[in-house]
Amino acid sequence: MAVEYIKLPYEQDALEPVITRSTIGFHYGKHLKTYVDKTNELIKGTEFENLSLEDIVKKAEGPLFNNAGQVLNHNLYFMQFVSQGSGKPIGKLAKAIDDTFGSFENFTKEFEAAGIGLFGSGWVFLAKDKNGKLSIVKGQNAENPITKGMETVLVIDVWEHAYYLDYQNRRADYLKLVWNIIDWNEAERRFE
């Protein structure tokens, strides 16, 4: 079973001005495609060949973990956007955010601070544990909360290729504006 190269549920210019067509072209069209191709090359003829992407990430090490982890993280990242975000979460996720962080505004401040404070390349996740408790998790390189028994509710890519064409070295600006394109219905679905 090959690892799938996802199809975006929106046009490559749909997230502008927050994320431009140019960035999507490089990030989705080149970076993610390369990770998918490399993962499929590495699993061919191995014990991983018929596993789900999530199971590969849970069990793999070295180059396979790095490539499969990047595929999983990018899939979660790209599939959580819409051209006009819904602004704030509603329902059970909104309540869990308020219970954990005090308010949505406090959550976004803490999440942005985690992204700004992550040295080098990586990811910032809103993750839930097996009891549904939320936390902000930072991951270097291809790390994903799934390896710690958690599930991703929301993830923002803070590798430079995710924002540099649009924001240069202004990671904080990218993190502040990305809320405008979050599909909170997707985040709610992941939370439940």
Q: Which of 53, 33, 80 is nearest to 146 (CA)?
A: 53
CA 104 to the chain's CA centroid? 19
**Nearest-5° Cα angle at 163, 167 to 104:** 95
Across 70-87, b (16+ Cβ under 10 Å) vs e yields: bbbbbbbbbebbbeebee
Q: Which of 108, 154, 117, 118 is nearest to 139 (CA)?
A: 118
Q: Is 161 annotated as a binding-site member?
A: yes
CA dihedral for 154, 158, 163, 169, sign (positive or negative): positive
- Residues 88 and 85: their CA atoms lie apart, in Å, by 8
CA dihedral for 158, 167, 187, 15, sign (positive or negative): negative
Q: Is 27 annotated as a binding-site member?
A: yes
Q: Which two tokens stand for residue 29?
A: 């069209």
- Residues 5 and 128: their CA atoms lie apart, in Å, by 26
Known binding-site positions for Mn(2+): 27, 74, 157, 161
Known binding-site positions: 27, 74, 157, 161
